[in-house]
Chain A
Amino acid sequence: GESVGLHLPTLSVQEGDNSIINCAYSNSASDYFIWYKQESGKGPQFIIDIRSNMDKRQGQRVTVLLNKTVKHLSLQIAATQPGDSAVYFCALYSGGGADGLTFGKGTHLIIQP
């Protein structure tokens, strides 16, 4: 089966700096990817998604990059703010079988003042 992993469990950045959160996946058939933000005590909040026919997509202060060759996904947050502190999950559809998302374990983003 596929696996979804994150390179670092915790990422600490200075307020105002850019943050980059990485995610690796193993199922080359995955064609839809989503980044979620989860604050303490809340459900995951949709941030941005990307389909496999794209390699970059931009939102408000966020950019998702997809490298299908090395099966790598990243989330870039520009000018990180205190409100960006949360756990960030990458998720992908596993294709065939269950239609639920497969989630990584998450990266905890900590903003230093």
Chain B
Amino acid sequence: GAGVSQSPSNKVTEKGKDVELRCDPISGHTALYWYRQSLGQGLEFLIYFQGNSAPDKSGLPSDRFSAERTGESVSTLTIQRTQQEDSAVYLCASSLTGTTKAAQYFGPGTRLTVL
């Protein structure tokens, strides 16, 4: 079946603007994760959704970052008042469940550039 998809693939914005990034997980996957990857670095966990439970926001770097998920479907990551240090690739992943450890499958990412 289809994998994780993300849009847009690239986003260039000006400092201070708000941006929204979208993730469509694999159908049937109850767990959804957002990560950030800076150039040449590993992945930094941001937020995790599992079913209808309250999301784990422990990885969000500041209150400018927020995310929502509609049921067990689409998720949007919103960054308000973007700063240059927000420039990175934002990756979304989904897995069958978050309660028992399972492999996460990643989308292609959204490359965000803040000028």
**What residues of chain A have their CB less than 8 Å away from a CB belonging to chain B?**
4, 31-32, 34, 36, 41-46, 49, 51, 89, 91, 93, 97-106
Is B106 a contact partner of A101 (Cβ separation < 8 A)?
no
Q: Known A-B contacts: A41-B108, A46-B104, A93-B101. Give 15 more (CB < 8 A).
A: A43-B91, A46-B105, A51-B101, A89-B42, A97-B56, A98-B48, A98-B58, A99-B50, A100-B33, A100-B35, A101-B43, A101-B45, A103-B42, A104-B42, A105-B41
Q: Is B71 an interface residue, CB under 8 A from the partner?
A: no
Q: Name the contact of B109 in the complex, choosing from A43, A93, A99, A105 (C-beta under 8 A).
A: A43
Q: Is B88 an interface residue, CB under 8 A from the partner?
A: no
Q: What residues of chain A lie closer than 8 Å to B105, measured between beta carbons? A: 46
Is A101 a contact partner of B104 (Cβ separation < 8 A)?
yes
Given A32-B101, A44-B91, A99–B56 Cβ distance below 8 Å? yes
Is A99 a contact partner of B98 (Cβ separation < 8 A)?
yes
Query: Could you write out 27 A-B pairs with CB less than 8 Å apart?
Result: A4-B42, A32-B101, A43-B4, A43-B107, A43-B108, A44-B43, A46-B103, A46-B104, A46-B106, A49-B103, A89-B42, A89-B43, A93-B101, A98-B48, A98-B59, A99-B48, A99-B56, A100-B35, A100-B45, A100-B46, A100-B56, A100-B59, A101-B33, A101-B45, A103-B43, A104-B42, A106-B42
Q: What residues of chain A lie closer than 8 Å to B103, measured between beta carbons? A: 34, 46, 49
Q: Is B112 an interface residue, CB under 8 A from the partner?
A: no
Given A43-B109, A45-B106, A102–B4 Cβ distance below 8 Å? no
Q: How far is the CB of B82 from chain A (nearest CB, A)?
A: 22
Cα distance A4–B101 in the bound complex, in angstroms: 18
CB closest chain-A residue, reference B89: A43
Q: What residues of chain A lie closer than 8 Å to B98, measured between beta carbons? A: 99
Q: What residues of chain B lie closer than 8 Å to A36, measured between beta carbons? A: 106
Q: What residues of chain B lie closer than 8 Å to A102, measured between beta carbons? A: 45
Cα distance A89–B111 in the bound complex, in angstroms: 19
Cα distance A61–B98 in the bound complex, in angstroms: 29
Q: How far is the CB of B69 from chain A (nearest CB, A)?
A: 14
